[in-house]
A = this chain, B = another copy of it.
Amino acid sequence: METIRTTELAGHLGERVRLHGRLHQTRRMGGVNFVLLRDGYGIVQAVVVDPIALAPIQGLGVETVIELEGRVVAEAQARGGLELHDPVLRVITPVAEALPFPINQPTLTAGLDTFLDHAPLGLRRPAKQALFRVQAGIMAAFRATLDSAGFTEIQSPKLLAAAGESGASVFPVDYFGRRAFLAQSPQFYKQIMVGVFERVYEVGPVFRAEAHHTSRHVNEYVSLDAELGFITDHTTVMTLLTRVLQGIMAHLAARYAADLALLGVRLPGVPDTIPQITFRAAQALVRQQTGEDCSGEPDLAPAHERALGTWAATTHGSDFLFVTGYPMSKRPFYTHPDPSDPTFSNSFDLLFCGTELVTGGQRLHRYPDYLAALAQADLSPEPFAGYLEAMRYGMPPHGGFAIGLERLVMQLTGVSNIREAALFPRDGERLAP
């Protein structure tokens, strides 16, 4: 007899099959017992008419690892329209201990901290399985879209001798008695690698030593980074990002329908041309919409981003909005200025439902421009020697973007805290499990 997954039941209607998984739940309804098996892919119920079939799990608790044989029968009332009859149960690994919170209920009855403290158990909840399957799908679609556009995947080092873009928010490491730092982004390496492959991407961890405790920040997260050469300006990068988001949504729609349904997620449409507004026009619009004058500010406040999101939805019917041309004063030293007004930059933020999701833009590419920008920022060129070498030996006009994976999952699924979108989140208090 073949051992199959819960997602493969439909192909075996009328046959006896074997599954393995967990004792997810037992129910008694109308004199009949139901045993629910959960595997790594879904749930199936077995109908137990003769209670003797329950003997193997007598006295054992949920999460007991089991094998279950039964005949696949169509039943409109059952999950997925299928259930198992004449079941035979076998215990693989018994569990007798009570769980700290139930994981077979549709809503979580424990608070977030309790859930995170017991993540190895809590992540087994079907809704969490679904959320992290979607997360895996996003990574796969990000790579597939870029692979098909001629990008090469890279893996850049996370241990650095110099603190990078800004010394403020990096974790120091004791590296054989020397001081090293954890990479806060692969920015410099992906630019260097544009000099090698023209188009590169990386999916990997980044580390931010910012002490703020908010529902939108963790200290270690996964960054989806892309960078490409021979661009016209930041609009080339915006077009690429639009294609990547379209690729992600199409992949999720095609492959993760059941998970999205379980999570109650409606995927946003990504228009071929996402509406865009300049930073200055956005400020004027905010004043018009909210009555607040933010024209002196170098950045948009979260409330103003929300107002812009509402405007994009009502005026353009779009969940997405590009804001372009942020002031140079708020962007890192390698940012390319707007040639027509160098106090502003060839950069953008992408808002999703009124919240910043992606930052990107065009970078400087001429070596003398880097030397001038570092001097302007009062930074010594010495720690940037390798990075500057790439520029010294010729770089094409280039740019890129970075998407925070957990933040994308958070905004897509509507969880209220980014800690719910990381398997084992790291913050000021939390370094385990």
Contacts and interface: CB of A to CB of B under 8 A. Distances in A.
The range of chain A's interface size is 35 or more
Contacts of A219: 159
Interface string A1-22: 0010100000000000000111
A55 B324 CA distance: 38
A120 B205 contact: no
Given A123-B196, A386-B433, A173 B176 contact: no
Contacts of A209: 176
Task: Specify how many copies of this chain sit in the oligomer.
Answer: 2
A153 B224 CA distance: 14
A431 B405 CA distance: 27
A133 B162 contact: no
A393 B196 contact: no
Contacts of A64: 394
Contacts of A22: 394
Contacts of A196: 40, 123-124, 128-129, 132
Given A394-B95, A396-B20, A433-B387, A129 B189 contact: no
16 contacts: A40-B198, A41-B198, A65-B396, A97-B392, A97-B393, A119-B192, A123-B192, A133-B152, A136-B153, A139-B153, A154-B423, A158-B205, A159-B171, A173-B174, A189-B424, A387-B433
Interface of A: 3, 5, 20-22, 39-41, 63-65, 92-95, 97, 99, 118-121, 123-124, 128-129, 132-133, 135-136, 139-140, 143, 147, 150, 152-162, 171-176, 178, 180, 182, 189, 192-193, 195-199, 204-205, 207, 209, 211, 219-220, 222, 229-230, 365-366, 385-387, 389-390, 392-397, 405, 423-426, 428, 431-433
